[in-house]
């Protein structure tokens, strides 16, 4: 039985990697999650044997039986973080131990095994070193998106926690999310459907939460919105979060507040941004916030900025929040707005242009 702490990775190089030409073309305009690198990481787990067979193998299709539990019961968790190329050519990721610990919490909730933090970080290092050529150049807002995930992997339809599990890491080059980061996104306020409830899986990063957000997401598109905001499922009064991003509000007196709830996924970006706000003298609050507080605050001018936070887009200013009965218009953000200055600070640390005073970066290559 191994606890995973002494795992050695084997490497099987891809005999047919993308050509330099093909890869260069992808890196020119990577989009998001469209093309994957030449390799992936896999680590197996069994109930009796623990973590084993850590390997880097060619990226490619998996062979699984249709009776595999993963297709039926969604016992799955995932993570998302990025690798950034610095000006000196080195490659770094951002606070990976936060993602590792969050994946442990998610895994615990989904009755999956917890991967040791060191193995999680080492798995990122192994993949990024194998596929270093896929990390975009410094200075264009591009990165290599890393997607660790863990699935039940057992050919069995009985309903219980799987006894064989596989952990993977795949990687995909990512473009600058928005060309103009001040461009506001419009958000649909969903009050019929919920993504999470008390005692549910809202605080875990699992595929099922995303599945639950897709129908309201379609409603959002129909109303000309890009994202959905969910309220707490019991009173429909308190702000929760978007389908895949946390919410932050800035008040006229400089106070910064983010909703507190047991069914919100704790965002690493949110924690980092709030840390930066705190260090620049802002009062930072994690507390319950009602939709009425936002509505009245936006109308009176007490709320000066509203934005969403997450690894993919970093910070997205929120423009209009639409609901069947009313609409909240948030102030227009400029380069000088607090949220945009914090965004520049955070991305500056991530891509190595600003000093990493917090020890947030982990060099991978």
Ligand X SMILES: *Cc1c(COP(=O)(O)O)cnc(C)c1O
Q: Are strands 239-242 and 246-251 parallel, antiparallel or unpaired?
A: unpaired
Between residues 27 and 313, which has the closer beta carbon with respect to ligand X?
313
Tell me, residue by residue from 263 to 292, as one string, x for binding to ligand X by CB under 6 A and - for no binding.
--x-xxxx----------------------
**Interface stretch with ligand X, choices 59-67, 163-171, 260-268, 337-345 (CB under 6 A):** 260-268
Distance of alpha carbon 80 from alpha carbon 243, whole angstroms: 14
Question: Residue 245 interacts with ligand X (CB under 6 A)?
Answer: yes
**Which of 205, 282, 322, 343 touches ligand X by CB under 6 A?**
205
**Which of 17, 216, 244, 297 touches ligand X by CB under 6 A?**
244
Tokens of residue 30, six digits: 């990577």
Tokens of residue 328, six digits: 């909240």
Tokens of residue 337, six digits: 């707005």
Tell me, residue by residue from 296 to 315, as one string, x for binding to ligand X by CB under 6 A and - for no binding.
-------------xxx----
DSSP string, 29-43: S-TTTSS--SEEEEE
Tokens of residue 278, six digits: 């705190």
Min dist CB 300 to ligand X, Å, is: 28
Nearest to 99 by CA among 148, 42, 45: 148
HSE on the CB side for 161, CA within 13 Å? 11
Question: Residue 80 interacts with ligand X (CB under 6 A)?
Answer: yes
Min dist CB 118 to ligand X, Å, is: 20
Between residues 148 and 310, which has the closer beta carbon with respect to ligand X?
310
Min dist CB 277 to ligand X, Å, is: 15
Nearest to 3 by CA among 52, 72, 56, 41: 52
Min dist CB 88 to ligand X, Å, is: 26
Distance of alpha carbon 158 from alpha carbon 168, whole angstroms: 24
Min dist CB 110 to ligand X, Å, is: 14
Please report, as ranges, the residues that interact with ligand X according to CB under 6 A.
80, 205, 241, 244-246, 265, 267-270, 309-311
């Amino acid at each position: 039985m191994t606890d995973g702490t002494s795992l050695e990775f084997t490497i099987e190089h891809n005999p047919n990697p993308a050509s330099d030409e093909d890869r260069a073309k992808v890196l020119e305009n990577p989009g998001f999650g469209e093309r994957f690198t030449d390799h992936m990481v896999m680590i197996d787990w069994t109930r009796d044997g623990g973590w084993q067979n850590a390997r880097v193998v060619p990226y490619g299709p998996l062979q699984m039986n249709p009776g595999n539990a993963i297709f039926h019961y969604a016992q799955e968790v995932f993570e998302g973080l990025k690798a950034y190329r610095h000006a000196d050519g080195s490659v770094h990721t951002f606070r990976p131990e936060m993602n590792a610990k969050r994946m442990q919490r998610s895994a615990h909730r989904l009755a999956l095994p917890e991967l040791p933090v060191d193995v999680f970080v080492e798995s990122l290092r192994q993949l990024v070193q194998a596929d270093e050529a896929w990390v975009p150049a410094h200075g264009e807002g591009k990165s290599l998106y890393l997607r660790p995930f863990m699935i039940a992997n057992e050919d069995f339809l009985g309903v219980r926690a799987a006894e064989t599990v596989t952990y993977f890491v795949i990687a995909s080059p990512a473009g600058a999310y928005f060309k103009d980061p001040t461009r506001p996104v419009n958000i649909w306020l969903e009050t019929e459907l919920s993504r999470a409830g008390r005692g549910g899986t809202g605080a875990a990063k699992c595929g099922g939460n995303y599945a639950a957000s897709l129908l309201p997401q379609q409603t959002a598109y129909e109303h000309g919105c890009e994202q959905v905001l969910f309220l707490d499922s019991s009173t429909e009064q308190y702000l929760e979060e978007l389908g895949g991003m946390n919410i932050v509000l800035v008040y006229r007196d400089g106070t910064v507040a983010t909703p507190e709830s047991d069914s919100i996924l704790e965002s690493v970006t949110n924690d980092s941004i709030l840390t930066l706000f705190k260090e620049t003298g802002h009062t930072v609050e994690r507390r319950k916030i009602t939709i009425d507080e936002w509505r009245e605050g936006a109308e009176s001018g007490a709320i000066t900025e509203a934005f969403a936070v997450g690894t993919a887009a970093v910070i997205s200013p929120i423009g209009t929040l639409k609901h069947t009965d009313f609409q909240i218009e948030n102030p227009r953000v400029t380069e000088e707005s607090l949220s945009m200055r914090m965004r520049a600070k955070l991305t500056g640390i991530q891509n190595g242009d600003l000093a990493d005073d917090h020890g947030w970066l982990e060099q991978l290559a």
